[in-house]
Structure 1
Amino acid sequence: MKGLATPAVIAVLAWTSPAAVPVEPTALAVMTWNVCTATNANCRLYQADAQQLAQIIGGYATSQPIRPDVIFLQEFCGGADRTLELGLQQRTGRKWTVRSLALTSNAGAPYACHADKSGRARGAQSIAIAVADDAVTFTSHPLSSPPWYVKRAVLCATIAAKRVRACGTHLSSGTRYDDRQPGAPYRTRQIKEMMAYAAKPGYRSVFGGDLNVAPPDSADGSAAGRRAIVPAYRAYRECDQNGTSRTGRWTHSADGRRKKLDYLFTSQSSKRQCHVAPPTSLSDHRPVYLRVEF
């Protein structure tokens, strides 16, 4: 993976909002969705083939009140990259560029998606970003991860024409096989590192995805997980945040419990509009949409 920063640089950047640099005003719409297609048999998109994935994602890109220019995806299958590009182009009439990043084991081997219903391979379980119209540069950056489980990373898209840096990720979970230690140490580090990677001088930042922590002012999840996300709320505004309340509508449903795990953060001074899609059995997560004017 590219772009490894030193811990000292990460620590400084993660606690500092990007400096104000005069840039032309612009608007951007972003969608994030954990599509739950890779290995979770409880989701209807489990074992979906590339065409089905492209059709469903394209539908969410065109059927909701906010139509995204940038899409963050989690639990995606990298073998569908090109099909998704073409599907989005057909649905929207715009040119799209899709880049995915495979998640790897602690030994460095990619996690394979389960085969589709016809037995065809679908590539590795991935995070992905799709960007419409503009020329884009993608970079990937490793995140501190438990040495016994998945190596997490953040994938960033730098859009020079809009002076925007958009970064999506899927962070460790608090399960017994992942970030299991008291205090959520890995998610705490991952969020600070993600903020550092999203900051670029002269650019506006948008970042988020499935962060696997509940909001600070909710009663959900662990107290350590809720504390882990505090630095992001301190330096930025979250899509579904109202006033000073650091919470939002639920985005994840499993085992009869609903909570917010999916986020989109941007600058505190921006004008924001947020939308959370209706519940769906396609995935255990709901898509979240942000329209921002910088």
Structure 2
Amino acid sequence: MTWNVCAGTNPYCSLYRRSAQDLAWNIGRYALTGPIKPDVIFLQEFCTGAAGALELWLEKQTGRMWTIQSWGLTSNDGTPYACHPDYQGGSRGSQSVTVAVADHAATFQTYPLTSPPWYVKRSALCATISAKRVKVCGTHLSAGLPNDDRQPGAPYRKQQIRELMAAAAKPGYRTVFGGDLNVAPPDSDYGSAAGRRAIVPAYKAYDECDQRGGRRTGRWTHTSTREDGNVTKKLDYLFAPKGSVRQCHVEQRTSTSDHMPLYVKVAL
């Protein structure tokens, strides 16, 4: 499962400034109620201060052992990119990329991604699960905004996706990677052409959870509100080895975040 929970700095999302316990409950219920019960969870715009609460909640409610690792984003000057405090003024840590693994021991590693020097640094957080011979990597890529990807050709997201794929690959292991990649699918009719081109190598090497046969697109996972109405896009992805995707689900009933949870079932 991957989900950008929009908890850190966006006041228009309902998890903004919510407590660690609230974050744990809202995230955990999607791990329990979806048609696919995840063994691995990727989170973006999660707060590092809530990792312990989420781990305890998942263990109590699922009866499984969970291991959670977070990587906190940093600003361009190296300082933590902090989540805004909760409603009582308490610190919630840094906005993060987080990976949760159930049952099996996992080795975590962070891979820095080439990032614009004028905005937050990006990384992929990977977990190697030796018992299953699986390597999983979650990330949150640059947004492609004028102050984040200003050169022609979306150079930062293009580089980041290539670096993410290199980090996720491990000989003899199955690879699953994804998260909020901040690009539109190649065959969609929205988003920048540069962004759509940036994601093409991933589709060539892997199957994406929700792609429609030969058409490289899928259901929307993100909604934004504008004066002329809501705009929906697919920005969230889960890639797995060719031929291994058995089921895909997009939970489009949530109003908790501006992103929807995305689930994939992969044959091992």
Report the AA paired with residue 291 of structure 1.
Answer: K
CA deviation map 1:101-132 (0-9, x unaligned): 00011111111100001111000010100000
Match runs of 1:149-164 below 5 Å? 149-164=119-134
Question: How many angstroms apart in 2 are the aligned matches of 1:54 and 1:221?
Answer: 32
Aligned-partner SS, 1:73 = strand
When residues 36 and 271 of structure 1 are mapped into structure 2, their CA distance, relative to the original with a 3 A threshold, is closer
Question: In structure 2, what is the equivalent of residue 275 of structure 1?
Answer: 249
Asked whether 1:79 is paired with 2:49, we answer yes
Trace 1:96-135 onto structure 2 (pairs within 5 A). Answer: 96-135=66-105
Could you tell which deviates more after superposition, 278-287 or 153-162? 278-287
Runs of 4+ in 1 over 6 A off after TM superposition: none
Q: Aligned partner of 2:266: which letter?
A: V
After TM superposition, the structure 1 = structure 2 runs for residues 18-167 of structure 1, keeping only pairs within 5 Å, are: 31-167=1-137
CA distance, structure 2, for counterparts of residue 271 and residue 107 of structure 1: 40
- How far apart, CA to CA, are the structure 2 residues paired with 1:150 and 1:180? 14
1:271 Cα offset (Å): 3.8
> What is the DSSP-based 3-state SS (H/G/I as helix, E as strand, rest coil) of the residue aligned with 2:162?
helix
Hey, what does 1:222 align to over in structure 2?
Answer: 192
One-letter code aligned to 2:250: V
| SS of equivalent residue, structure 1 residue 141 | strand
Q: Is the 8 A contact 2:139 2:179 kept in 1?
A: yes
Secondary structure of 1:101's counterpart equals strand
1:32-77 alpha-carbon deviations (Å, 9 max, x no partner) = 0000000000100111110001101110000010010000000000
CA RMSD of aligned residues (A): 0.8
Match of 1:259 among 208, 225, 233: 233
Shift of the alpha carbon at 1:269? 2.6
SS in 2 for 1:142: strand
Q: TM-score, normalised by structure 2?
A: 0.97
Q: Measure how far apart 1:242 and its partner are.
A: 2.1
User: For residues 151-181 of structure 1, what are the alpha-carbon distances to aligned partners after superposition, in whole Å with 9 as ceiling and x for unaligned?
Assistant: 1000000000000000000000111221222
State the structure with bigger RCO (CA 8 A, min sep 6), 1 or 2: 1
Match of 1:24 in 2: none
- Amino acid paired to 2:246: R
Structure 1 counterpart of 2:178: 208
For the residue of structure 2 that corresponds to 1:89, the secondary structure is: helix
For structure 1, list consecutive stretches of 5 or more residues without a partner in the other structure: 1-30
Give TM-score scaled by structure 1 length: 0.89
Q: CA deviation at 1:81?
A: 1.0
Q: Does 1:172 align with 2:142?
A: yes
Aligned residues: 264
8 Å CA contact 1:59–1:91 kept in 2: the answer is no
In 2, the alpha carbon distance for the partners of 1:70 and 1:100 equals 13
Q: What is the rounded CA distance, in whole Å, between the counterparts of 2:245 and 2:21 in structure 1?
A: 35
Q: Taking every aligned residue pair, what percent have the same amino acid on both sides?
A: 66
Tell me, yes or no, if the aligned pair for 2:70 and 2:99 is still in contact at 8 Å: yes
